[in-house]
């Protein structure tokens, strides 16, 4: 079921920008947009694809998809084997450039390591990316968990505590369109799928400044998250502590680990004051 959700989201994320956006900006490069959509088409469920599959996933005309693939192949970001295309390690240069330029290892990682050391469980930082969260820092633990997370991992907002604490503090023009979905995908029987329930949850989050999720993204997984605010009071990211339900319940997670996570939050927010370009990077535009 999780793979089906990722595939559906992939199709949604790879559609072209709205026509009004392209028409309103004469400097908008549709060719670049299409090329990037081809790169984003490859994922866990689509490690290799033929031309027809790339066209289907991206929604591009086959002739356009073919030209994009040919260009990206010549640039070294895609390799062709027979009739199938696959990404090359060269695409990692984009992620490496971001991680190096944002100084995440200095600004964020030490504080997440403190959470990990104090709890024995993993801790991460994520930002909003459309209707998903995107992990940009992850400090792992040796304890096995059902879902493997890491930098670049993406999960639905509605099924994660990270996503909900960020969405709850977004302006109305972001939250309301998001809640227009008639029903959100169910990943487990505990996943919140009804928009009206999510709206109520957002209201609670805005009062208590944290959220938990137990058996929602996957069975056996529990997490606690708090939002990260910039100096102007805008939410720009969130951090969490996650573990197995066999170790702790969501109630115990709050009583035992919320103070630890709040210390990390304050330290990261203080560090962000010295690195404003990171705020500019992760902030919602």
Averaged pLDDT, 236-241 = 95
Percent of the chain with pLDDT over 90: 65
**pLDDT, tens digit, for every residue of 30-68?**
889 999 999 999 988 889 999 999 999 999 999 999 999
Are 61 and 125 in the same domain? no
Please indicate whether residue 283 or residue 255 has the higher confidence score (pLDDT): 255
Are 51 and 110 in the same domain? no
- Asked if pLDDT for residue 255 goes beyond 60, the answer is yes
Residue 40 belongs to domain with CATH number? 1.10.10.10
Are 205 and 111 in the same domain? yes
What pLDDT is attached to residue 23? 53
- The pTM assigned to this predicted structure is 0.79
Range of the domain at 31: 2-87
- Which H, E and C letters describe the chain, residue by residue? CHHHHHHHHHHHHCCCCCHHHHHHCCCCCHHHHHHHHHHHHCECCECEEEHHHHHHHHCCCHHHHHHHHHHHHHHCCEEEECCEEEECHHHHHHHHHHHHHHCHHHHCHHHHHHHHHHHCCEEEEEEEECCEEEEEEEECCCCCCCCCCCCCCEEEHHHCHHHHHHHCCCCHHHHHHHCCCCCCCCCCCCCCCCHHHHHHHHHHHHHHCCEEEECCCCCCEEEEEEEEECCCCCEEEEEEEEEECCCCCHHHHHHHHHHHHHHHHHHHHHHHCCCHHHHHHHCCC
Please indicate whether residue 199 or residue 24 has the higher confidence score (pLDDT): 199
End position of a domain, from candidates 50, 72, 87 = 87
Are 83 and 103 in the same domain? no
Are 49 and 169 in the same domain? no
**pLDDT, tens digit, for every residue of 143-202?**
655 566 788 889 999 999 999 999 999 999 999 999 998 889 999 999 999 999 999 999
């Amino acid at each position: 079921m999780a793979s089906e959700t990722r595939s559906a989201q992939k199709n949604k994320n790879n559609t072209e920008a709205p026509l009004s956006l392209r028409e309103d900006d004469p400097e908008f490069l549709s060719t670049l947009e299409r090329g990037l959509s081809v790169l984003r088409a490859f994922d866990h469920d689509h490690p290799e694809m033929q031309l027809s599959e790339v066209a289907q996933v991206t929604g591009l005309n086959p002739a356009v998809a073919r030209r994009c693939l040919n260009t990206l192949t010549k640039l070294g970001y895609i390799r062709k084997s027979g009739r199938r295309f696959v990404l090359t390690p060269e695409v990692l240069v984009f992620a490496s450039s971001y991680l190096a330029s944002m100084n995440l290892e200095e600004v964020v990682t030490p504080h997440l390591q403190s959470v990990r050391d104090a709890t024995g469980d993993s801790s991460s930082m994520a930002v909003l990316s459309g209707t998903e969260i995107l992990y940009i820092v992850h400090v792992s633990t040796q304890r096995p968990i059902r879902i493997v997370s890491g930098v670049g991992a993406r999960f639905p907002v509605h099924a994660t505590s990270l996503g909900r604490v960020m969405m709850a503090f977004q302006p109305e023009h972001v939250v309301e369109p998001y809640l227009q979905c008639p029903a959100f995908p169910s990943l487990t029987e505990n996943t919140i799928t009804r928009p009206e329930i999510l709206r109520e949850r957002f209201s609670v989050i805005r009062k208590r400044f944290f959220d938990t999720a137990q058996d929602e993204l996957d069975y056996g997984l529990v997490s606690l998250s708090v939002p990260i605010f910039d100096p102007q009071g805008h939410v720009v990211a969130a951090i969490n502590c996650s573990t197995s339900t066999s170790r702790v319940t969501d109630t115990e997670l709050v009583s035992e680990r919320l103070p630890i996570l709040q210390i990390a939050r304050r330290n990261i927010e203080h560090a962000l004051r010295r690195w404003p370009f990171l705020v500019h990077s992760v902030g919602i535009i």
